[in-house]
Amino acid sequence: MSKSVTKRILGIDPGYGRCGFGIIEEKNRDWYCLTHGVITTSKEKGHAARLLEIFEDLRVLIAKYQPTTLVIEELFFAKSTTTALKVAEARGVILLLAEEQGLDIIEVKPNEVKMSVTGYGKAEKQQIQEMVKTLFGFKETPKPDDAADALAVAWCGTGRCNDMREQE
């Protein structure tokens, strides 16, 4: 009898001040949340030090939970060019770590995440959070929002995005 491979997905809602993460696992064809939260970096630190903090904290999470796949949301907008660049740099650090750790990498668009979780590509944040609560059997919506968003991103990696892409 062969031993089945455990599927674990690390979902990331990228940011440099707050980086949301969620790790889910498949058991008996159902998905369960193992952990979720945010990596919060200090505003008093320089940008490079904040990127290093994200890198190190994610390295610890990967070592502890051993995901097989990283799903990360693509950058779609920002309030300013400066913010967009900093978030893009955080994404680069995260992608580098995932590659170094041998994880499969899936990059998803925000509308793909919304579609996979709610069935509607223009869903509002509240709708996504309510569906994340339902999908993982939480009594309350995961807080902060970045953690709930990261779980939605992880959910997209379960194959729901691929299903949506095939329909296009």
Tell me what pLDDT residue 163 has: 46
Residue 16 has pLDDT above 50, yes or no: yes
Beta partners for residue 22, in sequence order: 11, 36
122-168 pLDDT tens trace: 899 899 999 999 999 999 999 899 999 999 999 999 985 554 444 44
Give the mean pLDDT of the chain.
90
Q: Is 149 a catalytic residue?
A: no
Domains of the chain: 8-167 (3.30.420.10)
Beta carbons within 8 Å of 136's beta carbon, 6+ residues apart? 24, 31, 32, 33, 151
Type of residue numbered 67: P
Q: Catalytic: which of 53, 73, 112, 149? A: 73
Compute and round to an integer the Cα radius of gyration of the chain: 15
Q: Catalytic: which of 13, 25, 53, 149? A: 13
Number of Cα atoms under 13 Å in the Cβ half of residue 65: 25
Tell me what pLDDT residue 1 has: 40
Residue 40 has pLDDT above 50, yes or no: yes
Tell me what pLDDT residue 160 has: 56
Q: Catalytic: which of 25, 53, 112, 146? A: 146
Q: Determine the Cα–Cα distance for residues 138 and 10; give it in Å rounded to an integer.
A: 18
Tell me the whole-structure pTM to 2 decimals: 0.90
